[in-house]
Every structure is written in structure tokens, then in C-alpha cells.
Amino acid sequence: MSIVVDNIAKKYGRVLVMREISFKLAQSEFLVVIGPSGSGKTTLLRLIAGLEYPDEGEIFINDRKVSSPGYAFPPHKRNLGFVFQTSALWPHMTVEQNIKFGLKGLSKKESNFRVQELMEIISINHLQGRYPDEISGGEARRVALARSLAPKPHCLLMDEPLSNLDAELKDNLLEFIINTLKDSGTSLIYVTHDLKEGEQVSSRKLLLQNNSRQSGVPFP
């Protein structure tokens, strides 16, 4: 999957969050987005996912225009995965139901197999029947990761997915994420404010600064 972000700008009310953001992400490529708080990192992911309209510019996925001012191709048809800053697990569903939610076009047997497979890989099979309020913060992060990987997205958007985790767990999970995505040829846009963590993910970086344009990555 290729993603092209072309000259995007976004305002919240009168506050300009970002402007003139452009980059291209090729299939299987990893990109790290780094910047201080309020520089629009999360907003950039939300725009790519189709959860918000850009005020200026366009976004293309596989050469198809998916976002422009006032237009957004439905998020669920973009074939993206999204791991949010908070785990955002649905509290009324068990861990298994959370992971199964995004699966499409599979038989019940295939769905169960996919869920079991993921839970084993991520070492959360003991959480299967539990509800989100019965698991720890670290476990919730892993469930959120499994949920986003379950439908085999072509590109994964991750918004500071490992913040507030202890160092050892963080390193293990990061290694797992990188290996899994590399094996499956999935692209990744990884938002963080931690330079060291960013280095581990990819050498290709997009640096966002408050209320201004990007630096660090040539277009395309």
C-alpha cells in the first residue's frame, strides 16, 4: 500500500495545528513521526485514517484520493489499522470479542483460528474471556495491538502505542511489532515523542514542529 500526503493543513477553530505537510510512504515502508506536544502528530494520523477532514491538501492511498477538504472516503474501507494513544478497548466486549471485531469475510472457524493465533503470538491467550477492566494497562496495549493486526491491514498507524509501559515490556513489544510488520509486508506510520524509540523503528523520520511545516523528509 502506498500513501501520499500532499500539502495538508489543519486548524482547530482558530488554532493552526499543521500546514504544508507532504510525504510519501511506499509499500512495506516504515515512517516515524516525531514532534513536541501540540505539533499535530495525532491529527496527522486521524487525517490519514479518515476520521477528520483536512482544511487544505489531499491524501491518496494506492493512487486513489481518499481525503480532501469536506471529503473523506470511509475509514473502514481504507484497509488501515490504528493503535490509539489510549488502548480504546470496548468495555462491554471481552478481549476475544475486541480482537474479533474487525475481521471480515471469514468463517467462524477461521475467525477463531485468527484470534487464537494472534493471542498466542502476543502472549495474551490467558486473557481471552476477560473484560478490559479486568486486565492491566500493559495487557490492554497488547490487546489493542492484536485488535489492529487481526484484519491484516496494509498499513498500520500507531499513536504512541508504548507510552507509559516499563522499559523491558516496551523493548519486547517494539521488537515484536517491527518483526511482525516486516514479515507481513505491512507499512507503518509510528508516532512518538521519544527519539530513541523512533530510532529503533525506522531511520526515516518526519519531524513536526508546533504550528508550522514539517522538516526532515523530502517529498516524495
Partner 1 sequence: MRTYLSMDKINNGAWLLIYLIFIISPVFFLMVETLNQLFSGNAEWLSLTLPTGRRLQLLARSTGLASLVALGGGLLGLLAGNFLSNWRPRVGSYLKYMILVLAVVPPYIHALSWASAFRFWNDFAGSTFLPELPMYGLFISWWVQFMALAPFGVGMALLGYELVDKSLVDAGRVMKSDFKVFKKVVLPAAAPAIAAGSAFMFLISLMDYSVPSLFQVSTYSLEIFAEYSASYEPVRAFLLAFPLMILMILAASVFQAAFRNMAMSPKQPRDVKPVPLSFPPWFLALQTLAIVLIAFQVMVPVISLVFVTGSFHNLVTPIMSSLREISSTLIVASGAALFSLFLVAAPASHVSGGGKLNYIWWPVLILPLTIPAPLIGIGLIHLWNHDLLVHFYRTLLMPVLAGAVRFVPFGALIMLARFKRVDTLLLNAASVLQKNNLHTFLSVKLPMFGKDFLAVAGLIFVLTAGELAATLLVVPSGQSTLTIKIYNYMHYGESASVAGLSLLILAISLTMGIAIVRLLARERQRS
Instruction: Enumerate binding residues for partner 1 (CB under 8 A).
Output: 12, 46, 49-53, 72, 74-76, 78, 80-82, 84-86, 88-92, 101-102, 144, 147, 151
Minimum Å gap between C-beta 199 and partner 1 is 27
- Using the minimum distance from each CB to partner 1, give the nearer residue, 97 or 180: 97
Minimum Å gap between C-beta 175 and partner 1 is 24
The three grid cell numbers given for residue 98, joined into one nine-digit string: 475486541
Minimum Å gap between C-beta 144 and partner 1 is 8
The three grid cell numbers given for residue 23, joined into one nine-digit string: 510525504
- Using the minimum distance from each CB to partner 1, give the nearer residue, 39 or 198: 39
- Using the minimum distance from each CB to partner 1, give the nearer residue, 86 or 123: 86
In contact, 150 and 114? CB cutoff 8 Å: yes
Rounded to the nearest 10 degrees, how much is the dihedral formed by the CA atoms of 166, 164, 205, 150? 90
Spell out the SS3 assignment of 11-44. Answer: EECCEEEEEEEEEEECCCCEEEEECCCCCCHHHH
- Using the minimum distance from each CB to partner 1, give the nearer residue, 77 or 195: 77
Minimum Å gap between C-beta 191 and partner 1 is 15
Minimum Å gap between C-beta 137 and partner 1 is 15
- Using the minimum distance from each CB to partner 1, give the nearer residue, 21 or 49: 49
Residue 103, CB half-sphere, CA atoms under 13 Å: how many?
Answer: 20
Instruction: For residues 126 and 104, give the distance between their C-alpha atoms in angstroms, rounded to a whole number.
Output: 24
Minimum Å gap between C-beta 31 and partner 1 is 18
Burial track 112-126 (b if 16+ CB lie within 10 A, e otherwise): eebbeebbeebebee
Cell 501520499 belongs to residue: 4
- Using the minimum distance from each CB to partner 1, give the nearer residue, 114 or 205: 114
